[in-house]
Structure 1
Amino acid sequence: MRHTVAPDNWRRSSYSGSGDGNNCVEVAPHPTHISVRDSKAPTRAVLTFPTPAFAGFLSGIKSSASGRS
């Protein structure tokens, strides 16, 4: 299934910074899924994940970053 994402829905991490730091992923949240794209190539493929799966992914990243396993 292909999801349409309005241009104003895309968000980039505040950690991206400027210059080379702009090479990041962008996300667009929706009630049932999260869309993810490469900020360097925004017109290319978009990945979509069910919202609960993406939330679990982020939780795992946060746990790893804080030293918890």
Structure 2
Amino acid sequence: MLLSIGMLMLSATQVYTILTVQLFAFLNLLPVEADILAYNFENASQTLMTFQHDLVIDFQLKV
């Protein structure tokens, strides 16, 4: 069964539409990605500070 080349190719309008939708979706999700990265960084910093605080307390108790 042979398919014509026309059935396999997308028209220029369809390609433009697909790429435009993907671009807008990507641009709209950038702030979400930035929020996630900022939250993860803040959470990691808080965890590190808590760990350092616990080490100081343990050291003071042993001395």
TM-score normalised to structure 2 length: 0.30
Q: Which has the higher helix share?
A: 2
Q: Which protein has the larger Cα radius of gyration, Structure 1 or Structure 2?
A: 2
Q: Which structure's relative contact order is higher, taking Cα pairs within 8 Å and 6+ residues apart? A: 1
Q: TM-score, normalised by structure 1?
A: 0.27
More strand by percentage:
1
